[in-house]
């Protein structure tokens, strides 16, 4: 079927305008309709098999999908640190503002397996702590299981500073990474479940030179991610719980 490039361009513009009007909410009816229109003129019916289009550093342009977020007056989103990475990094209740979310996707040299990291750049926004910037990276891999669906699994995560000149402040905020931190009963149950089922290895401390903190998931669960649309500019995905994310190529 021939693809009308003018139709694609008009459909993408409509989606961009709809996202801007609702703060990036992909549950908005206008956004849903715009995405459906794009699917109807999809130029790539087998997106997971198209490595040239898959590979890029994708920038999220819809709202983030981490749990418990709050949209601020300036349009940005605030979360606690714990919400960004399985409650693995301390202090879990630290309030952060997300500056950007990106996903570098590239072939790993192991068949069709590709990177599936989720990179969250943030600035602290908590009156009890100094204002510093950092990066949470949830490490993942993916590979196609059909023409439109990827199998995804996460293998761990890292927390690292963005500004090496503020290492003293960084250590003051994030230097206390311990398995024995005090948790609520509910959080303790979840933590124990993750360790038992997913082979979770929590942070063992902070790297004294780089300030990096990391955790590992040795038996990560496998999920599915459907690619609804993919071209030279745009990628739209849908997770198992129906969460839709819109990203643009950088």
∠ Cα 189 191 196 (to 5°): 95
For 143-147, 175-179, 209-213, 246-250, which range has the lowest pLDDT when averaged over its residues?
Answer: 175-179
To the nearest whole number, what is the mean pLDDT of the chain?
A: 91
Question: What's residue 2's pLDDT?
Answer: 47
Task: Decide: 156 and 150 in contact? Cβ < 8 Å.
Answer: no
φ, ψ dihedrals at 142, nearest 5°: -145, 160
Q: Give how far Cα 99 sits from Cα of 53, 104, 123, Å.
A: 26, 16, 7
Question: Does the pLDDT at position 201 exceed 50?
Answer: yes
Q: Are 187 and 87 in contact (CB under 8 A)?
A: yes
Position 26 scores a pLDDT of 97
Per cent of the chain over pLDDT 90 is 74
pTM here is 0.91
Q: Compute the average pLDDT of residues 161-171.
A: 93
Strand partners, 149: 226
Tens of pLDDT, residue by residue over 48-79, are 999 999 999 999 999 999 988 999 999 999 99
State the SS3 of 43-87: CCCCHHHCHHHHCEEEEECCCCCCCCCEECCCCCEEEEHHHHCCC
- Asked if residues 88 and 157 have their Cβ atoms less than 8 Å apart, the reply is yes
H/E segment holding residue 194: helix 185-198
State yes or no: pLDDT of 184 exceeds 80. no
């Amino acid at each position: 079927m021939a693809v009308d490039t003018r139709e694609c361009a008009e459909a993408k513009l409509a989606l961009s305008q709809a996202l801007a009007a609702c703060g990036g909410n992909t549950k908005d009816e206008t956004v849903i309709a715009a995405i459906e229109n794009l699917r109807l003129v999809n130029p790539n019916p087998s997106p997971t098999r198209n490595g040239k289009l898959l590979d890029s550093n994708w920038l999220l342009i819809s709202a983030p999908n981490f749990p418990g977020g709050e949209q601020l007056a300036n349009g940005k989103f605030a979360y606690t640190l714990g919400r960004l990475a399985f409650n693995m990094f301390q202090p879990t209740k630290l309030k952060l503002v997300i500056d950007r979310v990106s996903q570098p996707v590239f072939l790993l040299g192991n068949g069709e397996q590709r990177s599936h990291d989720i990179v969250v750049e943030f600035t602290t926004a908590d009156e009890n702590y100094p204002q510093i910037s950092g990066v949470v990276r949830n490490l993942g891999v993916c590979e196609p299981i059909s023409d439109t669906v990827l199998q995804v699994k996460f293998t761990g995560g890292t927390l690292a500073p963005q500004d090496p000149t503020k290492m003293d402040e960084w250590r003051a905020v994030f230097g206390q990474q311990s398995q024995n931190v005090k948790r609520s009963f509910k959080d303790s149950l979840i933590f124990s479940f993750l360790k038992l089922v997913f082979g979770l290895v929590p942070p063992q401390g902070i790297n004294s030179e780089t300030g990096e903190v990391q955790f590992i998931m040795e038996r990560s669960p496998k999920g599915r991610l459907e690619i609804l649309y993919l071209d030279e500019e745009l990628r739209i995905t849908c997770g198992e719980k129906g969460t839709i994310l819109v990203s643009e190529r950088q």
